[in-house]
Structure 1
Amino acid sequence: MEDTDQSPFTLGNGNLKTDTTGNSFPDRYAIKEAGTDRVLTCLEAPNLQVIVKAGLTVATSAARKAPPGTIYLDGVAQVEPFLDHDRKVYNLDHHEGCVRAFTLATCEQALIMCVKGLDLRDREWKIFANEPDLDTILAIWIILNHQRVNNREAINRRALFALVRLEGVIDSLGLELRELSGLPADLLQKLMRVIDRLRTDELERKKAGEWTKTDYSEYTISVLRKLDQFLIKVGELDDFKGIEELARIELTNNRIAVVVASDLGIYELEPHLTKLYGNRLGWVALRKEKNNYTLRQMDLFMPVNLEDVYQRLNYTDPAVKGRMGVNRWGGSGDIGGSPRDLGTKLSPAEIVSACRDVIEKRSDIRHVKRFLLSALFCLSILFAAVATAQNWPPTLWLSRLSTGMRSQEFGYYSALLIVTLVTLAIVAFRRPWQFGIMLPAGKDWWRILPIAVICGLTGGMLTPDKTMFATDPYLAWALALVLLPLSLELLFRGLVHGMMAQLASIQDSESRWFFSGPTIGSTLLYATAIGIQTLMLADGPIMTTLTSSLLIKAVLVAGMFGVAAGMIRERSHSILPAWLFHALAALTALLVYRLM
């Protein structure tokens, strides 16, 4: 125990940074808000979160069924100590379900786990405690520093073992039996001075009756810093880099994406990130300034590269809104960054969420679920419009309405437009550009104009019948060119397409031309809706209409126009061109067929 012969709190003149407490050790610990909890973290173990909450207890059944990555300390779980390696749930305790005098203290259990090779870097962990006594804080220090515990060059390892053994005996058996630790008298005396120093603040607060008013997280950090000074060798933290984790998310195949803040450059930071996260790191975003980030692909074998991430970030970022001709996320396949001039408006959590979205796009089951959800929204809106049309009594509200306005057709499309707008206002409130609610961009979508004209020339576009043009021509034209195409485009190229695009790659004004999933999905629903409307508006029996060429032509034309409108929507970033082309196709059909 030569490394304990000097005064444990006397530090050499190192060149380490000064922490916020004025000590000559780096400030490695911090408190963050995580939902409703305040969590304690260590910058060298950002995947570990410690929650110290007064009176926190967990029932036996809940402890056994805790989420993977849970560690209960010293009385939180009302159950005997257990190690569930399969579920990654541990209870380090010597209160319930055991003979306390014959059971190792919590800090000793934590030390044994770490010495036996426990590696906590493979996932996120939450450590729960309900009172920061020295036994608990020692266990927390060991868990947060588990990588250092087995590094004989990093810490005063023998001093740690002796301190843990002595505190374990005192906590389990009482101060009067401390000699059962088996430590030499002089070492025992020195370690008792260390324990007294570590507990000074606790004892003073309890004596003054202020212990229950203590901020347990802040108190825990203060003791952890003292333990750093005693246990970590002087000079060992000279290469410590202040890396703050801002956000993290699980990707796939035991890979994660993180956002960190540091004064170092991305290449200087790489070895330190490898030390912190091992081989789990897929992508990292380094925040250099408030809104500026550098993106780096750490794993060369990720299923997609950063090009796909840029596309998703540009689609999500309010500073870009998917537009071209503005500063965008971009770079090469392995390194890039955020928009340079004004930076990004995405939060760290939104950046890692976009990274996960890129990975989840590859999941077929998620695409199917998204399609079914979009179809459910679509059918609900169509059903509401049909119900309104069937019970359309405008004469009860306004007696001077024209004959056309009293028709079920006008009631149907009016209800369709209103319900779609209300749904869009709710769903697209935060990111309207993702649903095409913005001014058009680019010009190459004009190439699709001939397809709209061809659809009109086929005569298969849905338009008002001649009766309405004869009785109320102004309303008929408004219905044909405004209400009908606008309501359909808002529903299918706005709402439905936008919902499907949340988990799919789509075109933009400068991308290659391709058929995207949202375009195909929205077209299928659009063609189905047009087919149903054709059946509803048919004069003859339904079975006759089902076997007629009228229905087949209507569905085929709807499919062709739906694909064209979807591509227009994507390449222009807006539903306005899709609406205009729909109106043009309807106008062509009216001029060639209906009004002749």
Structure 2
Amino acid sequence: MEDTDQAPFVLQNAPAKADAAGNGFPDRYAIKGTGTDRVLTCLEAPNIQVVVKSSLTVTASAARKAPAGTIYLDGVAQAAPFLDHEKKVYNLDHHEGCVRTFTLATCEQALIMCVKGLDLQEREWKIYANEPDLDAILSIWIILNYKRINNREAINRRSLFALVRLEGIIDSLGLEMRELSGFPEDLLQKLMRVIDRLRAEELELKKAGKWAGTDFLDYTLGVLRKLDQFLIKQGELDDFKGIEELARIELTNNRIAVVVESDLGIYELEPHLAKLYGNRLGWVALRRGEKDYTLRQMDLFMPVNLEDVYQRLNFMDPAVKGRLNVNRWGGSGDIGGSPRSTGTRLAPADIVSACRDVIDKRSDIRHVKRFLTSAVLAALILVAAIATAQNWHPAHWLDREGMAAWSLHPLFGYYLALLVLTVVILGTMAIRRPWQFGIILPSGKDWLRLLPFAVACGLSDLLPVPGKALFAADPVVAWTIALVLIPLAMELLFRSLIHGMMAQLATIQDCESRWFFSGPTIGSSLLYTAAVSVQMIMMPVDPASTRTLVFMVQFAAMAAIFGLFAGMIRERSHSILPAWLFHAAAVATLILTYGPA
């Protein structure tokens, strides 16, 4: 009993232990915001989050169905204590469904679970408590310090066991039964002084009637710090490195990507990261300043390397916007960093999200789902535009006589509806990442090589253009519709909205990449082909004309080729403007060569 009987109890009016530099005990705990919740974390166990909410309870059935990696403490789950190792869900409790007198307290259950070797490193965990009494806080300390529990050199292990045993008896049976611990009188008195010190603030708050309004997370953090001073051996934290986890995300095959902040360099940090995360760490981003990051690949056997991550980050980062310059994410396949000139405008959560996007790109199912979602949206817009055109009566709606003939034409109503609907949806989807949808100025010059193909497409005489009736009614308006309204509506829909949606998880070209047909280019081209084919059938320019099967096949083939060229121009330039220019040039070539349809 050397640790327990002879080690000094520093909580009894003694100064805090000092680290090697003579400073106060290192602060290993922090409170963070995650969405609408606040959680408590330990810097040495960043995969574990603690939630302490007053009156928090869940039903027995809900507790059994909780997400994997859930631990309920001391009355949160209205169920008997259980250990579901298969689902990784645990309820440590001595309230419901048990004989309290014969059941170990929550802190004793937590201690036994950790001493028996429960592996808490291989996944994320969330601990739920509803009131931070000493029983619950001891349980939290034990779980957060699970790595130290079985290290006899790291903590005053016997002191921990003695404190947990005594608190367990008091919490389950009452203060008057404390002698059941069997501790010698002097040890019992020492432990009682420790407990009194740990509970002093709680008792004062309850006496003043302020306990219900207490910030339970702040209170829990304070008691955890006191427990550190009592239980962790002198000098054990001399080499403690304040590595703060800013964001984390699951990747694949039990691998994760994290963003951390530390005063150490990335190479100095690697052994400490190995202690924190074991072999789970795939990629790490070290924040060196408010906008500066170093990326490091920790697992050499990741299915992709950092080159793919750089491309994704450059696609997402507003500070880069895919432009042709050196201010980009980049480096080698195993180490790199953020843009040097301006830094990044991405948050830590965005960086790890980009890492997962790179992994998700390899999933064919995700690509199929994204394509189908885009197809459904395009179909809804087209159906709405066709319905508008077939019921196009602006003179009646506006109660105006003598409106211009071109404004009454269903084709004008169709493209106007197409443009308005697309712009409205784009406005909601592209507001955070306009560059993803090509809503930026063009970059680079190699896209100019594709412009001559616009002439070839126009010479095919197989593109949708306004009919002779519109040109006869008002040539200026007809040319405006042909060169502005039609190309702009179609390109915004297919090369901006649809292409941008599919580009979320895809590798696409940029002004510096090799030339290839990307998934979004092919997908948007297929949907464009289907759309103009349906338009040709449902809304022919000349209702009296007949379209043979051969003509429709030729028309669809040209639409597909045209869509591929327009998509490549959109990607190489990073902008929708050159795609609109390509479309307008092709239409102008057709009309000037063959006349209106």
TM-score by length of 2: 0.96
CA distance in 1, matches of 2:472, 2:35: 63
Question: Which residue in 1 is equivalent to 2:556?
Answer: 555
| Equivalent residue, structure 2, for 1:213 | 213
Taking the aligned partners of 1:336 and 1:96, their CA distance within structure 2 comes to: 53
1:394: Cα distance to partner? 2.4
Residue 21 of structure 1: aligned partner: none
For 1:102, the equivalent position in structure 2 comes to 102
How far off its partner does 1:67 sit?
A: 1.2
Question: Is residue 300 of structure 2 the alignment partner of residue 295 of structure 1?
Answer: no
Give me the whole-angstrom Cα distance separating, in 2, the residues matched to 1:14 and 1:432.
50
CA distance in 1: counterparts of 2:198 and 2:308, whole angstroms? 51
Cα distance, 1:309 vs structure 2? 0.7
Deviation at 1:14, TM superposition (A): 4.0
Match of 1:570 in 2: 571
Aligned residues: 589
Measured after TM superposition, the shift of residue 392 of structure 1 is 1.1
Contact 2:467 2:541 in 1 (8 A): no
What is the alpha-carbon distance in structure 2 between the residues aligned to residue 53 and residue 418 of structure 1? 47
Q: Shift of the alpha carbon at 1:203?
A: 2.1
1:13 Cα offset (Å): 5.4
Aligned to 2:506: 504
Q: Distance in 1 between matches of 2:221 and 2:365?
A: 45
Residue 442 of structure 1: aligned partner: 444
- Matched with 2:20 is 15
Structure 2 unaligned spans of 5+:
none
> Partner letter of residue 91 of structure 2?
N
Q: Name 2:582's counterpart in structure 1.
A: 581
The aligned residue for residue 249 of structure 1 is 249
Report the alpha carbon displacement of residue 391 of structure 1 after superposing the two structures with TM: 1.2
Give 2:432's aligned residue. 430
In structure 2, distance between residues paired with 1:159 and 1:379: 69
Question: 1:538/1:439 Cα in 2 relative to 1: closer, same or farther (>3 Å)?
Answer: closer
Paired with 2:312 and 2:476, the residues of 1 have a C-alpha distance of 44
Q: For residue 60 of structure 1, report the CA deviation from its aligned partner.
A: 1.1
173-182 vs 358-367, which moves further: 173-182
Shift of 1:166: 1.3
| 8 Å contact from structure 2 (residues 465, 596) kept in 1 | no
Are the equivalent residues in 2 in contact too, given 1:119–1:147 (CA < 8 A)? Answer: no
Give 2:262's aligned residue: 262
Contact 1:72 1:90 in 2 (8 A): yes
Q: Summarize the alignment of residues 159-558 of structure 1 with structure 2, pairs less than 5 Å apart.
A: 159-396=159-396, 397=398, 398-536=400-538, 537=540, 545=547, 547-558=548-559
Conservation of the 8 A alpha-carbon contact between 1:53 and 1:129: yes
Letter in 2 for 1:7: P
Corresponding position of 2:137: 137
Q: CA deviation at 1:291?
A: 0.7
Name the CA distance, whole Å, in 2 between partners of 1:443 and 1:592: 28
Q: Which runs of 5+ in 1 are unaligned?
A: 19-23
* Contact 2:446–2:572 under 8 Å retained in 1: yes
Match of 2:153 in 1: 153
- CA offsets per residue over residues 186-231 of structure 1, 9 Å max, x none? 3222222221221222222223333223222111111111111111
> 1:172: how far off?
1.2
Deviations 1:470-509 (A, max 9, x none): 3321122112111111111111101110111011010000
Q: CA RMSD in A?
A: 1.7
Query: For the residues of structure 2 that align with 1:12 and 1:370, how far apart are their CA atoms?
Result: 56
CA distance in 2, matches of 1:567, 1:106: 62
Letter in 1 for 2:552: L
- What is the alpha-carbon distance in structure 2 between the residues aligned to residue 449 and residue 6 of structure 1? 82
Corresponding position: 1:591 with 2:592: yes
Alignment check: 8 A CA contact 1:16 1:25 kept: no
Q: Percent identity?
A: 71
8 Å CA contact 2:39–2:50 kept in 1: the answer is yes
**Structure 1 stretch displaced more, 443-452 or 288-297:** 443-452
Q: Distance in 1 between matches of 2:198 and 2:117?
A: 27
286-295 or 392-401: which moved more?
392-401
Residue identity matched to 1:521: G
Deviates more, 1:468-477 or 1:387-396: 468-477
CA contact (8 A) 2:511 2:574 kept: yes
1:296 alignment partner, SS class: strand
User: After superposition, what is the alpha-carbon deviation per residue over 1:115-148, rounded to whole angstroms, capped at 9, x for unaligned?
Assistant: 1111211111111111111111111110000000
Contact residue 81 and residue 97 of structure 1 kept, 8 A: yes
SS of equivalent residue, structure 2 residue 7? coil
Q: Any residues of structure 2 matched to 1:55-66 within 5 Å, and which?
A: 55-66=55-66
Aligned residue type for 2:405: T
Contact conserved, 2:59 with 2:78, CA < 8 A, in 1? yes
TM-score (norm 1): 0.96
How far is 1:404 from its partner?
A: 2.1
Quote the residue 1:6 is aligned against. Answer: 7
Q: What is the distance in 2 between the residues matched to 1:490 and 1:568?
A: 14
User: Mapping of 1:88-127 within 5 angstroms?
Assistant: 88-127=88-127
Q: Is the 8 A contact 2:18 2:25 kept in 1?
A: no
Aligned-partner SS, 2:339? coil
Q: 2: CA distance between counterparts of 1:371 and 1:392?
A: 31
Displacement of 1:469:
2.1
Q: Structure 1 residue 17: deviation in Å?
A: 6.5
Deviation at 1:180, TM superposition (A): 1.5
Q: Does structure 2 retain, via aligned residues, the 8 Å contact 1:17–1:26?
A: no
| Secondary structure of residue in 2 paired with 1:48 | strand
Query: What is the DSSP-based 3-state SS (H/G/I as helix, E as strand, rest coil) of the residue aligned with 2:451?
Result: helix
Compute the displacement of 1:37 (Å). Answer: 2.1
The alpha carbon displacement at 1:434 in A equals 0.9
Q: Which amino acid aligns with 1:495?
A: L
Deviation of residue 541 (structure 1)? 8.6
Give the whole-Å Cα distance in 2 for the aligned partners of 1:13 and 1:130.
33
The offset of 1:530, in angstroms, is 1.2
Distance 2:220 2:17 in 1: 25
User: For the residues of structure 2 that align with 1:486 and 1:2, how far apart are their CA atoms?
Assistant: 82
Q: Matched residue of 2:288: which SS?
A: strand
8 Å Cα contact 2:247/2:352 also seen in 1: yes
Give the whole-Å Cα distance in 1 for the aligned partners of 2:420 and 2:266: 50
| 1:46 counterpart = 2:46 | yes
User: Alpha-carbon deviation of 1:395?
Assistant: 2.2
Q: CA deviation at 1:399?
A: 3.0
1:115 to 1:392, Cα distance in 2 relative to 1, 3 A? same
CA distance in 1, matches of 2:544, 2:77: 70
**Is the 8 Å Cα contact of residues 242 and 262 (structure 2) preserved in structure 1?**
yes
Change (3 A) 1:394 1:201: closer
1:459, distance to aligned residue in structure 2 (A): 0.9
3-state DSSP class of the match of 1:301? Answer: coil
Which stretch of structure 1 is more off in the superposition, 83-92 or 211-220? 211-220
Q: Offset of 1:408 from its aligned partner?
A: 0.9
Cα deviation code 1:320-372 (max 9, x no counterpart): 11212151111111111111121111111111111111111111111111111
3-state SS in 2 of match to 1:320 = coil
User: What code does the residue aligned with 2:415 have?
Assistant: Y
- Residue 412 of structure 2 aligns to a residue in which SS? helix
- Matched-pair contact (CA < 8 Å) for 2:169–2:181: yes
8 Å CA contact 1:314, 1:328 repeated in 2: yes
Query: Greater CA deviation, 527-536 or 246-255?
Result: 527-536
